[in-house]
């Protein structure tokens, strides 16, 4: 009976450590199951349909003039990359950014047009390409870090292009 105090003390310490070190659900965040957090900028399928319909409605003249010049080809409404291609590109862009002295913090998607391309299938066709973004890496001892906020400018690494084109609105 004399040694009961340290045993109780051990249980209390164990309970406190268990409370602080065992995983538990996050408060206030929406989740899909127990291991996925819904990104904050996710929109609903209904909102995506409205955005797609608005794009087609507000860009009708431009689309129709391109189709009239190029013949019966369908308009390009989207670009598709496989998950494998995107993951490989992100890993490549991260490594290339590091070697160029940048800290990759995101990607930017640009709209483009091939113009007078030598390939007939791409002549005057629209495209999209993905570019890594992030600030130039600075020395941790630099005094400029206190005064200049980092900017997410385009990193001069080769962009990802040549995704498959989609000719219908959202969803396909």
Does 96 reside within a domain? yes
Tell me the pLDDT tens digit for each residue of 49-94. 887 777 777 766 555 555 555 555 566 677 888 899 899 999 999 9
For 37, the domain range is: 29-139+147-166
Residue 170 pLDDT level (bands cut at 50, 70, 90): low
For residue 22, the model assigns a pLDDT of 74
Query: Is residue 121 assigned to a domain?
Result: yes
Does 86 or 3 have the greater pLDDT score? 86
Please report whether residue 43 resides in a domain: yes
How does residue 101 score in pLDDT terms, banded at 50, 70 and 90?
very high
Instruction: Tell me if 18 is assigned to some domain.
Output: no
Q: What is the pLDDT of residue 102?
A: 93
Residue 22 in domain: no
pLDDT-based confidence at residue 171 (cuts at 50, 70, 90) = low
Domains identified in the chain, total number: 1
What does the pLDDT read at residue 165?
66
Q: Over the stretch 148-159, which tens digit does the pLDDT of each residue have?
A: 555 678 888 888
Cα angle at 116 between 114 and 120, to 5 degrees? 85
CA 34 to chain centre: 22
Q: What is the pLDDT of residue 61?
A: 58
What is the rounded average pLDDT of the residues 105-132? 80
Residue 40 lies in a domain: yes
- Give 6-26 pLDDT, tens digit per residue: 778 887 888 887 877 776 665
Q: Is residue 133 part of a domain?
A: yes
Asked, for residue 94, whether it belongs to a domain, the answer is yes
């Amino acid at each position: 009976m004399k040694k009961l105090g340290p045993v109780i003390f051990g249980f209390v310490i164990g309970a406190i450590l268990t409370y602080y070190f065992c995983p538990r659900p996050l408060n206030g965040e929406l989740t899909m199951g127990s291991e996925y957090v819904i990104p904050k900028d996710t929109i609903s399928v209904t909102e995506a349909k409205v955005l797609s319909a608005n794009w087609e409605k507000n860009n009708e003249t431009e689309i129709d003039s391109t189709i009239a010049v190029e013949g019966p080809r369908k308009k390009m409404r989207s670009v598709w990359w496989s998950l494998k291609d995107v993951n490989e590109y992100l890993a490549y862009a991260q490594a290339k950014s590091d070697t160029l002295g940048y800290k990759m913090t995101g990607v930017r998607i640009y709209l483009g047009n091939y113009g007078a391309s030598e390939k007939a299938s791409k002549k005057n066709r629209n495209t999209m390409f993905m570019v890594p973004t992030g600030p130039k890496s600075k020395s941790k001892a630099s005094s400029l870090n206190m005064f200049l906020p980092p900017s997410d400018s385009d990193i001069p690494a080769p962009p990802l292009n040549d995704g498959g084109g989609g000719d219908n609105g959202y969803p396909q």
